[in-house]
Chain A
Amino acid sequence: MKFLVILTLVLFPLNSISQSGYLGSKTNIQLNITNPLTPLQYKGKLVDDTHYKETNLNLNASFVLTVNRVLSDEYQVGIGYRYAPMQLFSTSIEVEVQDPNNPNIFTTKELTITNLTRINHHSFMFNLRKFSNGISPIGKGWGLDLEYGKTSTDKIEIDYVSSVTLLSEGTFNDRFIINSPATATPESKTTINGIHQVNSFVIKGYLGRTIPVSKKVGIDLSLSIPILRILSYNNDYGIAYFNSPEVTTLSNSTYKNNKAIAYAIRKYNGFSLNIGVKYFL
């Protein structure tokens, strides 16, 4: 955070390189909605120990507000804030289940999550853009985003079901019916208490364009491409695709849950589509 503030104070007065901006506007405020393009995958284990997997569209937007400054005819820098009411990629929760015939024996079962409260992700970012038409901040551009974020919560509230009926013989990819009247038990709620925190440092590439629609307003359309995602949790760190596990199962353990949160953050910082509005000051 301190680093970003210092960077801002150093960079913003850099007017020595002359530039015209858009009709003389060198500063602009931009509001973007970002949505990952990676699909949501539901994975889980049923009470009869069979597995399932399901893929859905990932409609989980985050909001980014940046203040940008034109440095030259080609370059623009900016600082921003991102807020994401993050949906975890978790679809099951591990619990210890007592064998009704043998009370001293506990087995680990996965219960299917039907609803999960969102966790708030906040991050600050610094961006650099290069516009290929020599007239920043409009036109086609590419750039880099450096983002430092924090996701934390002291509880996770979950709705779950404990048993299901299979449609057909259990296979890995079969769908299942939730709340089948024959054997399903009603939804129950549980809360996992504890301080969950994951920090992230992400470097993303930007590819897009800004199209002016009036003297003051422009539309920004772009793609974010992850370059490096470092996640810090449980006094350890993981780098996406190297040593960052793909964990989606929650449990009573904050240790394990942090891994799931880290996975979700990784997914949120994946390949994304951004649509925004730029207001030229």
Chain B
Amino acid sequence: MKLISIILSLLFLSTTTTYGQVDKLNNFTYLKAKGTIPAEFLTLSSDKYKEDFEANKNKDLDKDFFLSTRFFIDELLLSGNVLFNDELSTYVNKVAKNILKREKGLYKQLQFYVLKNNSVNAFSTDQGIIFVTTGLLAQLENEAQLAFILAHEVAHFTEHHVRDGYVESKNIKKGKGKYNRLSYEEKVGELSIYSKDNEHDADTKGIEIFLKSQYDVETIFTSFEVLLYAYLPFQDTKFDTSFFNTENLIIPGNAFPDSINHISREEDYDDHLSTHPNVQKRMDKAFDVIGDRDSKGTKKYIISETTFKLVRNLARFESINQNLANRQYVDAIYSIFLLQKKFENNKFLDFSLAKALYGLAKYKNNFRFNEVILKLKKTEGEQYSLAYFFKHLSKAQINVIAYRVIYDMSIKYSTDKLLKKYEKDMLKELTLKSNIKPNQFIAIDSKTYSDSLSSLIKSFDIQDSIAKIDANDNLSKYKKIKLKKSLYKLQNKGSISVEETEFHLSALADLVINGKLEKKMNLILAENDLQLSNTAKNERENLYKKNHKEKGLNIQKVVVVDPYMADYNLSNKKDNVKSEKKKIELNQMYLQKHSKLNIETAIVDSKSLTKNDVAKYNELGLLYQWISEILEHDEIEMISSLNQDMQPIKDKYNTSKFLFSGFVRYKNRKEFSSNHLIGLFLVYTAPIAIVDLLIVHHYFDTFAFAIDSDNDKVIYTQSENVNLRANKHVLDAYIYNLLYNLNKK
């Protein structure tokens, strides 16, 4: 009985655990940091720099080292993209603790975080912070590989590679000691060698740490393979050519290539300019260290296989968010294809597919398709099929596929308002930009259509067609040549190319049959015509109006996102300490209340976080990603992939308006110009010209743009270069002016 109850409890536990994991993935939106913010995130960079520099006993490490490293790492920490206290970082910490269980003192010196980034990477800092990217976690095969990678990074820390590397690179660049009299190319080579030596050292020491654990030794070699093929997606599975197919949308087989670019990377690639040795060399070295140790009694999982798989899946899901935000739509679709094999009917995956296709259609319609499509020559493996497919689609075809998928999603998730928004916008794109007229769509089902198309191709008689062309006296010689060329091409192919195939015209047959599609499209066309004529009318009227007033934005609340401040000295070098101090003062200026303005400001900034501000921390990361995506889209008006994730932030601050702004202060001396020459010639202005040349002139650049998150549109931009010393009052004046411009009616 007891045994049965134990078994039942275990079963229940595994079910709930599995269910809990599936639930996490079913309800996935994006990865977030949790709990309290660690202390190193909250300490000012200038305090860290000062403390570490004063404590430093290595004379070779100068101020520059501590300034650049502390500020750079802090920028990364405060980017909002670092995960802590969540499932991924907790798991990474557990694995790290396990491999260092015999060196608890060392473990206490280190901090392990996960960085939301699709690059397959891990790196450590001289302060003992070790980052592992979600891109890497997505690629790993097992926990032991993670353990080895962590051990490698720990070894970089224990061997002081970052510090020593800095000193050595300085010596190389200055040509000190044995690097004296080296040419530039030789110096680059030396730097590369030094870096590779460090990597070998880290591998060796990392293996020593790893071998103290119970992890499977074999996984060291497979870890190198993960790194070797890191440029590929996390799986290399043949793309299912019926992936997009529905009852009405049937994509012909010839839309996909017969062959793909095979994976070409070899273990012994040329690494002479690389910072890392090639995989072959690393494997050979590892083999020397490991010797004849075998995997007996060792494991691939010590902490938890289930948790590893959950972490990996979460990382893979997150990779789609990263792809969408970085406009890597084809990568996103391929990843979705891979994940949907295991996670059918996952809303996040479905929605992401809709977003990716929407993005592709938008860029195609705006003649910027090359920016978002994979370069075929550089694409290897099974994802080549997908890249090829999209590359050869016409505008009309992409729009129809995108609309089909989005429409079906909007029906499947009928309560989702955002999907409705996508559907509406996509229909507008289809109507106005795809070059298809409403009456061109075919109201027959696709099977009938493709059958008729196939029989047409089969019944095609080239000789008969050529005879007809020759007999037609109305055709010119050159027209006849062109037509015959097309016919011979067709004959040789034996089929019509994807562009010629009109599969897309029957893809919406169900919507065409009931007449709704044509009605909706005609309505959009009519609205568009009206809008165009109104715009033209307004422009004509405004030409004649003397006091034409620009309509104000009338913004009454705005969230200021992490105001930027940078201070450059006379040698054009950023003064990080001053910049940080001024930034903190700047934050307060944005929060000042002005009685003459009816605008309220809230601020989300990286330098005023407290340990309980994890929500704000996540908001920062999301806002940065959101703004970055919108700026990439530039003039393409489209719903951002993060639109739904922005909703909680809008609700929290009770506004949809976000402001990004900042100042860059710098100074220099003026160069001699024609104005000075004229000034010198005139007696009275000569002293002024001389003073102008000698004194240090102060300048600052200011920028600001406001975005409306309701429609992901930039609603206000401002940038200026000002020849003034940006003291507190000048900055106050510019901020006031900015808020005034946002607030005016």
Chain A residues proximal to chain B, CB less than 8 Å: 16, 18, 20, 22-24, 37-38, 73, 132-135, 138-140, 209, 211-215, 223, 271
Contacts and interface: CB of A to CB of B under 8 A. Distances in A.
B601 to A, nearest CB: 15
A133 B594 contact: no
Counting chain B CB atoms within 10 Å of each CB, the highest count among A24, A134, A215 belongs to A24
Interface in B702-745: 720, 722-725, 727, 729-730, 732-734, 736-737, 740-741, 744
Contacts of A37: 684
Contacts of B552: 18
A20 B741 CA distance: 8
B733 A23 contact: yes
A228 B222 CA distance: 86
A138 B734 CA distance: 10
Contacts, number: 60
A24 B594 contact: yes
Contacts of B547: 16
B597 A24 contact: yes
Nearest to B721: A133
Contact of A38 (B596, B684, B736): B684
Nearest to A26: B596
- The 9 A-B residue pairs with the shortest CB-CB distance, nearest first, are A24-B596, A20-B740, A212-B729, A133-B722, A271-B684, A20-B737, A23-B736, A135-B737, A37-B684
Contacts of B722: 133, 139
B732 A23 contact: yes
B724 A211 contact: yes
Contact of B729 (A16, A18, A132, A213): A213
B689 to A, nearest CB: 12
Contact of B725 (A24, A133, A211): A211
A20 B736 contact: yes
Interface string B547-558: 101001000000
Nearest to B595: A24
Contacts of A38: 684
Contact of B736 (A24, A139, A271): A24
Contacts of A138: 724, 730, 733
B683 to A, nearest CB: 9
A253 B591 CA distance: 69
B10 interface: no
B660 to A, nearest CB: 19
A150 B305 CA distance: 97
Counting chain B CB atoms within 10 Å of each CB, the highest count among A132, A135, A214, A223 belongs to A135
Counting chain B CB atoms within 10 Å of each CB, the highest count among A139, A140, A223 belongs to A139
Nearest to A19: B740
10 contacts: A16-B547, A18-B552, A20-B737, A23-B594, A23-B733, A133-B724, A135-B733, A139-B724, A211-B730, A213-B727
Interface of B: 547, 549, 552, 594-597, 684-685, 688, 720, 722-725, 727, 729-730, 732-734, 736-737, 740-741, 744
A20 B732 CA distance: 12
B692 to A, nearest CB: 12
A214 B688 CA distance: 27
A18 B596 CA distance: 13
Contacts of B725: 211
Given A20-B741, A23-B596, 5 more contacts: A23-B736, A73-B737, A212-B732, A212-B733, A213-B727
A126 B552 CA distance: 31
Contacts of A18: 552, 744
Contact of B720 (A16, A134, A214): A134
Nearest to B730: A212
Contacts of B688: 223
Contacts of B736: 20, 22-24
A209 B724 contact: yes
Contacts of A134: 720, 737
A132 B723 CA distance: 9
Contacts of A132: 723
Nearest to A23: B736
A133 B720 contact: yes
Counting chain B CB atoms within 10 Å of each CB, the highest count among A23, A73, A134, A271 belongs to A23
B741 to A, nearest CB: 7
A241 to B, nearest CB: 14
B222 to A, nearest CB: 61
A239 B163 CA distance: 75
Contacts of A139: 722, 724, 730
Counting chain A CB atoms within 10 Å of each CB, the highest count among B597, B737, B741 belongs to B737
Nearest to A133: B722
A38 B685 CA distance: 11
Counting chain A CB atoms within 10 Å of each CB, the highest count among B552, B596, B730 belongs to B730
Nearest to A272: B684
A22 B594 CA distance: 12
A37 B683 CA distance: 10
Nearest to B734: A135
A215 B724 contact: no
Contacts of B730: 138-139, 211-212
A20 B737 CA distance: 6
A271 B686 CA distance: 12
A206 to B, nearest CB: 14
Nearest to A135: B737
A214 B729 contact: yes
A213 B733 CA distance: 11
A223 B733 CA distance: 24
Nearest to B552: A18
B716 to A, nearest CB: 14
A214 B727 CA distance: 10
A223 B740 CA distance: 31
B734 A215 contact: no
Contacts of B727: 211-213
A20 to B, nearest CB: 4
Contacts of A20: 736-737, 740-741
Nearest to B745: A18
A214 B732 CA distance: 10
A134 B741 CA distance: 12
Contacts of A22: 733, 736
A16 B545 CA distance: 14
Nearest to A215: B729
Contacts of A133: 720, 722-724
Nearest to A209: B724
A134 B738 CA distance: 11
A140 B720 CA distance: 13
B547 to A, nearest CB: 6
A23 B595 CA distance: 10
Contact of B724 (A16, A140, A214): A140
Contacts of A135: 733-734, 737
Contact of A215 (B595, B597, B684, B732): B732
Nearest to B732: A23
Nearest to B596: A24
B50 to A, nearest CB: 31
Nearest to A138: B733
A223 B685 CA distance: 10
A20 B720 CA distance: 17
B337 to A, nearest CB: 51
A187 B29 CA distance: 98
A215 B733 CA distance: 9
A250 to B, nearest CB: 27
Counting chain B CB atoms within 10 Å of each CB, the highest count among A20, A138, A215 belongs to A20
Contacts of B685: 271
B588 to A, nearest CB: 14
A70 B720 CA distance: 20
B740 to A, nearest CB: 4
A63 B594 CA distance: 34
A65 to B, nearest CB: 23
B733 to A, nearest CB: 5
Contacts of B594: 23-24
A138 B594 CA distance: 18
Contacts of B729: 212-215
Nearest to B738: A20
